[in-house]
Structure 1
Amino acid sequence: MTSSRVIWKWTDEQNAIRASRSNRIIVEANAGAAKTTTAAFTIAGLIERGANPKKILSLSFTRPGVKAFEAAFARVGLSRDIARQLPVGTVEDFCASRLQRLEGSGVRRNERAEDVARAVIAAIAVARERAEGRFPGEFSLHGSGELAVEGLLEEFGQIKGSMALQRAGEYFSLTPQTASDLGFSFTTLSVFREYERERTAFLDGEGEQARFRYQGDATYDLARLLLSDDPPFSSENHPLWVGAEAVVFDEMHDCNWAIFTVLKTLLEVNDGCAFLGVGDRDQVIHAKDGADSYFMKDGFDIEIGEPKRLPLTLTHRFGESLARPLGSFSGKAYAANKDRKSAVEIKVTNTTEELLYVVEEAARSRRGLDEDSDLQDLAVLLRHPGSTVELEHFLIVKGLPYETIGFKSFLERPEILFIRMLLTVAVDLQAKFDAGMLLAAKRATWQFVGGVLPGATTAGETEKIVESATEENFRSFALHDLLRATEPRVSERILGAMALASNNNIADFSKVISALGINEMARRVFVRGSDVEEVESSISGLLSVAKRYASIDSLLNALLQYDYAAKSKKQKESRIVLSTIESSKGLEFDHVIVPGVNAGSFDGKNPDERNLFYVATSRARNLLTITHATERASRFLASFRQ
C-alpha cells in the first residue's frame, strides 16, 4: 500500500507515535518538530495495519495546513494512488460539507471581509438604534462603521469560536455589564446579534437555515446544531456519521470550543474511531478565533477521555543555540538536529533609525553582491504593527522592497489617508492622490468626519456620492458639505486643525494633530481598543516622519511619491516581510528580527504575550535577532542570555 521510498530519518519519538495502538493520542510537539510529517507517517502506519485510507479523516485548521498534509504524504512514502484516497481538508470545509447534507447547496460561502461588509454595516445601523433605546450612550460606533468591519469580524470569530453566548447560558441577557463579564464590548455584542439575525434564519439555535456564511461560520453553525435540544436530524441520518476509522487533527493548538464540539461528536458518532491530535500548546493565541489551550491540556481528558500523550521534541527547523533558550523559556524538553546551525543575537535599538540599520545590514548580508537575491526569507515580526510607519518610511527611502502580512501598510491606513486629505485641502496642494489610493482616502475621510450629505437621505446614498466624486469635487464641495452635516464638535475640531495646517509650517504639524483629537475620533469609528492604540501609534510615527520635511506640502508630495514607489515594489518578487506575529504562525524564515522586546510593552503576564514571543522566536531557521531599548530588556529575554 505504500511505496518503498521514504525520505526521512525517523526518530525514536516518531516511531513510538506511529507504533502506538492507543485509541486516543495527543502529540505534544515543539516548534519545527515536523508535526505534519509525523501525522502523515502515523497515517501510513495505520494503512499498513489495514485501515481503509478512505476512512482516515485528515483535518487541519488552515488551507496551508492542508497543503502541508498533501506534501507530507509524498514525503513519508505514500503512493499517489493511496494519497488521493485520503480525505483531507480544513475543519471548516468538512463542516460545510456535512451541513450541505442538511441544507442542500444553496448557502453561499464568503472568504473575504468585503463580501460580508454590507451585512455588518447594516447590522451596525440596526444595533445602534436598538441599543440607544435601551442603553443611551453605550453604543460607541458613530457613522456607518465601515472602518470597524474587519475588527468586528475578527471579534465575531472569537465569539463564535469560543461559543461565548452559548456557554453563557440560555438566560443570558445582553447589557453593558454582561458584555463586559464575557470579555467583549457592548457595541461588539450588539452588532454581532443583529448580524447573526441577518446571516441566519435563526438565533441561539432556534432554526436550521443560514443565508450565507463567512470564515468559521460552518463550524459554528454545525456546533450549534449539535448542541440544540431539537436538531434537524436523528441518529439514523446524523451529519457526522462518515464511517471514520481514524481522525487525525493537525494544528490542534488552534482548536476552539466550536471545533471541539464537532470533534467530540464526530468521535462519539463514529464508534471505535481512533484519534490523533498534533499541536504545540505554546502556540495558542486565545484572541485568534477563540483558540483555547484547554483542549490540549485538561479539556480533552474531561470532555472525551484521557489520551496517551507522546512528545515530539526534536526540532528540524533550527539548531541547538536556538532550541536551548526556547526550551528554557517554554519549560519543556527541546532537542535540535545537530546538523542545523543557528545563531541568536540580542541588540540594543533605541530609535527606528537604529532598527533600520539592523534590517538594512540583514538585507545587505542576504543580497551580498547580488542585488536580485531573495529577501523574502528575511522577516521582521511585530507585536504592534502600528509602530511600523517610521520603519516603512525608511525602507522606501532606502529603496528596500517590502510586503506587509496581517496589517495594512502605513500608506493605506485609514487614519493616515484621512489626515493626508485634510492637509491637502488645507494647503491647497495640487498634486493628486494616486488613483489606487483616492477612493480609500475619500472613504476614510467620510468615516472619520461622519454626516450625511445634503440631498442624500441615507448613509448608503452618501457613500455613492463620496465614491463617485472626483478628487477636485470631493475636496472643494463634498468635504465641506460633510463638515456642515456632522456633529458640531467634530467639524469644529477638523476646521481648527485645517486652519493651523494652512500656513504650511511643518513645525505646527503636532499642533494640527492635537487640535484634531485623532485619538478621540478613532474611538468613534473603531470598536476594539487595540485598533485605537494602533491609530495612536501610527500617527505618532507620522509625526516623527514629518520632522524630516521642510513643509507640510513637501511631506504630502513625498507621500504621493511613496504611493508610486510602493506600487512598483509590489511587482518585485523579492521583498522583506513585515508581519504581525499572529500572522507568522505556520511560517518560517532564514532570518527573523523581533524588535521592541521591551519591559512594559512585551513582557506581560497574559499567556498570550508569552505565546506570541514563543511563536515569533521559533520562526527562525538560521538567525534570530531580538532588539530592545537600553536598560529596558523584557523579562522574556532572560532565557536567551544564558
Structure 2
Amino acid sequence: MTSVAAFAAKTMTPTAEQLAVQTASAQTLLIEANAGAAKTTTLALRMAEGWARGIRPEDFLALTHTETACQALRAALQKVGVPAPVAQRFRISRFEDFCAQLLQATLDRPATPYQTLEELQPFVWEAVQRVERNEEERWPEDLALPNLGDSGFVEEFLQRAAWLKGTMKDTLERDGARPSPDYAGALGVSYTQLRLFLAFERIRLHELVQQPVFQGPGDATYDLALWLEQGGAVQQLRAWPRALRVLLVDEMHDVNQAAFRVLQELLNTTQAFFCGVGDRDQVIYSASGADSAFMGEAIAQRTGRKVLRLPLTPSHRFGAKLAVKAGRLAHKPYSSLAAHDTAVTLLAYDDAADCAAQVAAQALQWRGQPRAKMADFAVLLRHPGQSVGIENRLLAEGLPYRTNGFDSYLLRPEVLLVRGLLAVATDNFDSVTEPRTREKLMQALVFFCGARIVVAGREDESQADLLADAIRSVTDNPLFLQNFFQNQILNNVAPAMQQRLQRAVQVAQAPPAPDMLARLLQALHIDALLNEVLVSRERRQDARDNLAGLCSAAQGFDSARDYFLHLNRIEQQQHTLKSTASLVLASIGQVKGLEFGQVVIPFLERGLFPTPQAEAGEEQNLLYVGMTRARQQLTLLAQRQRPSSLLAALGYTPTVAPSAPSAPILLKT
C-alpha cells in the first residue's frame, strides 16, 4: 500500500509540520498556513493517502472559492503521484457550484444564472418601484428612494446586498420582527437599503416560496444556507453527499457565514474526516462577508467536534528575501525552506507608458533565459483596465499572452462593438475569424444597443435562446451578419440608438482616415452610451480606457480595418501556440493557489493600489497574495512621484533625488 512518505517523496521532503498534518488521527483538523507553505500540496497528499488506504475518490469532497484554486488542487493531486484517471474522479468544486448543483437537483425549475451588474439592474429598479408603491406592508417611515436614472445607486445596492447575504445578518438577527430604522442601523445598512433588499429578494425568490427565479454571484450558496437555516432537511436534497467520508476546504479564510452554514450541515450530517486550510492574511472577499473568524472556534461551537489545530509555517515556494518582505507585510514570522532564494526588485516608472515598457522589458529578459517558459512569467494587476497599455506594448514586442480573471481588452464588449460596426460597414467578417470572438461580438452588439431578438412564431421563447440561435447562424455563415444587423438590431432599438448606429456605420464606410475610430465613437455618443448601459463607475472608466487604448494602437496603421486585420492575425497565432509559450496577465485575486517563476506587480501608485474606496486591510492582503506567488523573482513597479503607501510596510521609503527635488524616488531602508 502506498504511504504518505512515498507520495511526499514525489514532490518534496516533508517537514515535521507536514508529517504532523498527514499522520494526524483527529477527525477534524484546522491548518493555519502561511502563503507558499505548500498547503495545496499538503491537502493533495492527505487525499492521496486516503485513496491509497481504500477510500473511493467519489467519497471525497474538496471545496474552495475559485475555479483557479480547484485547478491547482487537481494539478497537485497528479503532482504527488495520483494517476490522472483517478484524480479526475475526486469531487473538487467551488462552494457556489456545489450549492447550485444541490439546488438544481432538488428544485422543480432551475434558477436563471446572472453574472453581471447589468443583468441584475432591472430587478433592482423593480424593487425600487415595489417599495415606492409600498406593496409589502404599510410602513409609514419616509425613505430616501433613488432617482431611476441614478445607476450609481444600483452598484452600491448590489454590493450591500452581497454583504447582507454573505453575512446572513438579517436572517440570523431579525427573528421575524418588522424591520425598522434602528434595526437597519444595527445591521450596518440604511433603512432604505434594507427595505429594497427585502423587496429584491421577494422578486428573486418568487415571493419567498424558496423557488429562486434567478441567482447572481454567491446566491446559490446563500439560497442553500437560507433553506437550511429555516429548517430545511437534508433528506429533501436529492444530491446531498450522505456517503461522504473526507471533506476538505482550501482557502478557508475566505469562508463567509453562508458558506459556513453549508459546511456546518455537512459536518453535522456525515461522519466525514475534515481538514480546513487557510491563511488569515489572504482574506480578499470581505465585501461578500468573508471572515477568517470561521477558522476560530466556530466549528467546535456549532458542531461539537473536537478540533486539532496545526501550523504550516515555512515557505517552500520562495526564498528568504521574499519571506522577509511577506512577514513584514503580514506582521508575522516567516521563514523559508526553499533551496533557492527569491530576488525582490523595486523599479520606478514615470507614467503609464513607461510602466508598460518596463513590464515588456522584464518579459523579454525572462524569455532570454535558458529553458525559460513564458507561462511561468506573470503580470498581476489590481484593476483589469490597467492591462490596456501593457497589452499594446506586448503586442508591439511580439510577446504572446493569455489573460486570467478578465478578457483581453481587445475582447471586451465596448471594443467588440466597434469591431462589429466596422464588419457591418464593410460587409466583411474577415477581420474576425475566430468563432468564439464572433459570438462575443454579436453579444456585444445586442448588449450595447439594447435590441430584442424578434422571430415570427417564436414569441414565447426566451431572448437568451433566440440570441443563441442567431449567433450560431452568423458564426456558421458570416454573410448573415448584415441581415442580422439590419433586421434584429436596427429594427428593434430605440429611435435615438438607431440614429447613433447609422451615423457610426456611415463613418466606418467613409474613405480611410487616421481619426476614423475617434469619429465613430463620437457618432455613438460613447460617453453617454457607457453611462446608460454600464452600472459600475469603475467599469465605465475601464471601458473609456479600453477604447482610448484601441484608438491609440490603431494610429500606427493606415486604417482601422488594417489594424483589426492585424489583430485577427495575432489572435489566430495565439490559438496555435502552446499554453507554455504565452505569459500570464491576471487579476491578483484570480491567482490564489498558483505560482510563477517571476511575478511583476505594476502600478503601485497612490490612488491606484491601494484603491481609496477599498478596505485598507484587504488591499494589503491583495498585495501579499500577489507577492507570494513568486518563486525566483518578484518585481515591483512603483510610480516615482506618487508611490503606493503599501511600500512602507515592505521596508521601502520615499527619498528625494538631489538632481530633482520635486521627484521622490524609492530606496530600501
Give the TM-score band, short-chain normalised: 0.7 to 0.9
Shift of 1:592: 0.9
* 1:40-79 correspondence to structure 2 within 5 Å: 57-61=60-64, 65=69
Code of the aligned partner of 1:27? I
2:226 equivalent in structure 1: 224
RMSD: 5.3
- Number of the residue aligned with 1:145: none
| Displacement of 1:537 | 2.7
Change (3 A) 1:452 1:133: farther
Say whether the 8 Å CA contact 2:356–2:393 is kept in structure 1: yes
* Residues 492-501 or 4-13, more deviating: 492-501
- Trace 1:15-414 onto structure 2 (pairs within 5 A): 15-18=19-22, 24-39=28-43, 57-61=60-64, 65=69, 91=95, 103=106, 116=113, 131-132=128-129, 135=132, 138=147, 161-163=166-168, 166-167=171-172, 169=174, 181=190, 194-197=203-206, 204=208, 206-207=209-210, 219-229=221-231, 231=233, 233=235, 242=242, 247-270=247-270, 275-286=274-285, 291-297=290-296, 307=307, 309-368=309-368, 374-414=373-413
Partners of 2:561 and 2:191 in 1: CA distance: 44
2: CA distance, partners of 1:516 / 1:84: 49
Paired residues of 2:204 and 2:215 also in contact (CA < 8 A)? no
Partners of 1:584 and 1:326 lie apart in 2 by 17
Is the counterpart of residue 623 in structure 1 residue 628 in structure 2?
Answer: no
Deviations 1:220-277 (A, max 9, x none): 443223211464759xx99878476764433212322222002223333447x66432
Distance 1:137 1:633 in 2: 38
Q: 1:222 to 1:13 in 2, by over 3 A?
A: same
Shift of 1:54: 8.9
Q: Give the distance between the partners of 2:159 and 2:421, measured in 1 at CA.
A: 30
Aligned to 2:549: 541
Query: Residue in 1 aligned with 2:656?
Result: none
Partners of 2:572 and 2:368 in 1: CA distance = 25
Partner amino acid, structure 1, of 2:568: D
Q: Deviations over 1:171-207 (max 9, x none)?
A: 688999999749989999977764544xxxxx64x35
Q: Would the aligned equivalents of 1:179 and 1:189 in 2 still touch at CA under 8 Å?
A: no
Cα deviation, residue 532, structure 1: 2.2
Q: Is the Cα contact below 8 Å between 2:264 and 2:299 reproduced in 1?
A: no
Matches within 5 A, 1:491-502: none
In structure 2, relative to structure 1, the CA distance for the partners of 1:279 and 1:238 (3 Å cut) is same
One-letter amino acid of the structure 2 residue matched with residue 293 of structure 1? S
Corresponding residue of 1:527: 535
Does residue 583 of the first structure (1) align with residue 590 of the second (2)?
yes
Greater CA drift, 212-221 or 405-414: 212-221
| SS of structure 1 residue aligned to 2:374 | coil
User: What secondary structure is seen at the aligned counterpart in 2 of 1:579?
Assistant: strand
Of residues 531-540 and 76-85 in structure 1, the stretch that sits farther from structure 2 once superposed is: 76-85
Seq. identity, %: 29
Check conservation: 1:362, 1:378, Cα contact below 8 A: no
Letter in 2 for 1:630: R
Shift of the alpha carbon at 1:38? Answer: 3.0
Letter matched to residue 227 of structure 2: L
Name the residue aligned to 2:601: 594
The answer to whether structure 1 residue 610 and structure 2 residue 615 are counterparts is no
Following superposition, the deviation at residue 74 of structure 1 comes to 7.7
Correspondent of 1:13 among 13, 17, 24: 17
Whether contact under 8 Å (2:255, 2:291) holds in the other structure is yes
Q: In structure 2, how many angstroms separate the alpha carbons of the residues matched to 1:160 and 1:126?
A: 16
1:354 aligns to what SS in structure 2?
helix
SS of 2:275's equivalent in the other structure is strand
Q: Specify the SS of the correspondent of 2:37.
A: coil
1:449 pairs with 2:456 = no
Pair 1:563 & 2:562 matched:
no
* Residue matched to 2:432: 434
1-side partners of 2:537 and 2:189: how far apart? Answer: 13
Give the conservation status (yes or no) of the 8 Å contact 1:123–1:195: no
| Deviation digits for residues 29-87 of structure 1 (CA, Å, limit 9, x no counterpart) | 11110113334556789999x99889985523156656655666687799999999987
CA contact (8 A) 2:451 2:488 kept: no
Change (3 A) 1:367 1:240: closer
* Alpha-carbon distance, 1:429 to partner: 5.3
State the alpha-carbon separation in 2 of the partners of residues 82 and 515 from structure 1.
57
Distance 1:303-1:328 versus aligned 2 partners, 3 A rule: farther
**TM-score, L = length of structure 1:** 0.75
Report the CA distance shift for 1:542/1:41 in structure 2 as closer, same or farther (over 3 A). Answer: closer
| TM superposition shift of 1:544 | 3.6
Bigger shift: residues 416-425 or 338-347:
416-425
After superposition, the C-alpha distances for 1:303-346 in whole angstroms (9 at most, x for unaligned) are: 56795543321111111111110110011111112512211111
Deviates more, 1:126-135 or 1:20-29: 126-135
Instruction: After superposing the two structures, state which structure 1 stretch, 390-399 or 121-130, moved more.
Output: 121-130
Aligned partner of residue 567 in structure 1, secondary structure: helix
Deviation string 1:434-478 (CA, Å, 9 cap, x unpaired) is: 244455444423432335699999994995998568444566777
Check the 8 A contact 1:2/1:77 in 2, yes or no: no
2:114·2:214 contact (CA, 8 Å) conserved in 1?
Answer: no
Q: Equivalent residue of 1:376, what SS?
A: helix
The 2-side partners of 1:284 and 1:254 are apart by: 6
Does structure 1 retain, via aligned residues, the 8 Å contact 2:205–2:213?
no
Could you tell me how far apart the structure 1 residues matched to 2:360 and 2:317 are? 24
Aligned residue identity for 2:596? F
8 Å Cα contact 1:95/1:219 also seen in 2 = yes
Letter in 1 for 2:632: N
Would the aligned equivalents of 2:72 and 2:593 in 1 still touch at CA under 8 Å?
no
Q: Is the 8 A contact 1:24 1:307 kept in 2?
A: yes
State the alpha-carbon separation in 2 of the partners of residues 622 and 350 from structure 1: 26
Match of 2:645 among 614, 623, 635: 635
CA-CA distance at 1:378 after TM superposition:
0.9
Please give the secondary structure, in 1, of the residue aligned with 2:543.
helix
Q: Which amino acid aligns with 1:417?
A: L
Q: Gapped runs of 5+ residues in structure 1?
A: 110-114, 143-147, 198-202
CA distance in 2, matches of 1:185, 1:466: 40
Q: Summarize deviations over 1:588-614 as a string: whole Å, max 9, x none.
A: 111111110111110244333222211
The structural deviation recorded for 1:159 is 6.8
Residue deviations 1:502-541 (CA, integer Å, cap 9, x gap): 6865468667656755344223223333322321332333
User: Is the Cα contact below 8 Å between 2:117 and 2:535 reproduced in 1?
Assistant: no
Aligned residues of 1:446 and 1:482 also touching (Cα < 8 A): no
Query: Match for residue 200 of structure 1?
Result: none
